[in-house]
Every structure is written in C-alpha cells, then in structure tokens.
Amino acid sequence: MSKPRKPKGRPVSGWLILDKPADFGSTEAVSKIKWLFNAQKAGHAGTLDPLASGMLPIALGDATKTVPYVMDGRKIYEFTVAWGEERSTDDLEGEVTQTSAARPTEEAIRALLPRYTGVISQVPPQFSAIKISGERAYDLARDGETVDIPSREVEVHRLTLLKCENDKAHFEVECGKGTYVRSLARDFGRDLGCFGHISLLRRTYVAPFGEETMVPLADLVALEKIEERDERLAALDEFLIDTSEALAALPQIRVSEDQAHRLRMGNPIILRGRDAPVTEPEAVALAAGKLVAIGEIAGGEFHPRRVFS
C-alpha cells in the first residue's frame, strides 16, 4: 500500500490582503502569492477583473476554510465610466458595440443614482463567470455566442458621484455580493442615452478588511532579494492577518485548551456560566486568542462544523 503524498509547501495559515495591480489576473495573483509564501494551499475571496486594481483578499492554509465569510461581505469600489461607447465586455478590453455623441449633465447623473440604490435587478455582463447550462458565460462569449443571462437581485448600499467631467464621471459604490460594477456602467449609459463602459475600476474594501490592510505586490516581490530562505519567509509572514479576523462579525466564545482539544476532535462541548449563550446559528470558538472552530450553539452546547489546527 502506497504512502499518502506529503503536501508540498508550508502549512502556513492566514490572510494576505493584496493590492492587486491592473493587468494581473486574480488566479495569477493567487499562484504568485502561494509560490512566494511556499504555502500548501491558497485561494481568493472574490475575483477582481484583470483590468481592475485593488483589494484581493488571499487565504493561505486553514484560512481557506473562511473564504465564504469574506466573499459574503460588503465591498467598496471606486470606478470611472467613460461616456459615448458601449463595449462587449463593458470595460476597456472589449470591442465597441454602440456609440453616441450625447453626453449626460451632472444633474441627469445625480437624478439617476437613486434608481440604482437599494435592492436592484441587474443583468451580469456577457463576459462574466456566470454559468449558463454548465458553461461560463465568458467562454461562450469568446466563442462568439450571445447568451441570455437572466437578471438577478443585488444590493447597492451606497452610490456616490465623486466627480463629473465632459466625457466621464467618477463614482464610489458600496455593494453586496454578486454586484457587477461593469453592469452599472453599462446600464447608466443606456438610461442616460449616451452609452458607457468602465475605464477605471479599483476595489478598496472587502468586509471586514479595510484599505489600510492592503499590501502592494511590489513590496512582497522585493523580499525575494533576501537570500536566506527562513529569513525571507519570516519577513513575508509579517504581512499575514490572523485567520480569525475574517470572522469578526460572528459571535465569539472563549474556551479552555481542554475544550479546544475536544472541538478539534469533532466533539461538542457544554458552555457553562451565567452569560453563556444557549442558541446561536453560527459562532466562533477561540482558545488563548487563536481560532479553534466555527460551529453552532444549540441547547447550551457548541457543536463544531469546521475546525482549525
């Protein structure tokens, strides 16, 4: 009987909040970070378009178990809409499909914004990761097919016009999961009768991570000059955020080391004390400040669903 293969790389865990440069794909960025950190596992919490820059949270090791919680978080984007052209990809990358000599006034733009605030119905771009009959929409679009993508509800919490120029306008949007900023630009242009597409897009926030946590890729790459491997990896690890930070919105309970051992073995524990919660659909168990498990509290017991080494 053959022995199981030993995973390649280090069992390093935590979040790296990358400031992704434009013209660099999300998958490419994850591969680069995984290689730099010599990590066994890596994944990102929400694709950022190749032409977009800004926050790309990347989970290493056990932190990959918390990716869904970050993907569900609110996001903030700064973006510029160029008026006069609609493009196949709804950004600079695509071919021009519609043109107009009309340009919107600032008053017309401001009057439009309330219609795109709150829960709205949105059709994703033709070039998107939406699956149509099991295939990605962007694969079908690259093959020349025009696909009928159904609209879906997304939530826009805040939409602000930052600056207005003759041929373009600058915005900031705070939105929920699944919102396509490229679709906002496309629909703005259609409603204003002038067509439009994204010419600049930057993500500055993915809950719970703020802009101050972002690390430029160049700062990480610069550490490659450190020849001593352990010293280089230690310097890189300084940029990691503890895995538990991704779960800041969940109720937290403190457990002893003995209780932590039981949870890591997959066993429930009884929560004692006058203030101990009786019921929580989802909560986090911490021991000595370190993440132990995500689970459910029912009948005064914590039942682990995902455990962390």
Distance, in Å, from the CA atom of 82 to the CA atom of 90, rounded to the nearest integer, reads 10
Which of 19, 49, 62, 187 is catalytic? The answer is 49
Q: Cβ of 166: how many Cβ atoms within 10 Å?
A: 9
Distance, in Å, from the CA atom of 50 to the CA atom of 67, rounded to the nearest integer, reads 20
SS (H, E, C) 107-140: HHHHHHHHHHCEEEEECCCCCCCCEECCEEHHHH
Tokens at residue 179, please?
């919102």
Burial class (CB within 10 angstroms; exposed 0-12, middle 13-18, buried 19+) of 148: exposed
SS3 145: coil
SS3 306: strand
275 is catalytic: no
SS3 81: strand
Catalytic positions:
49
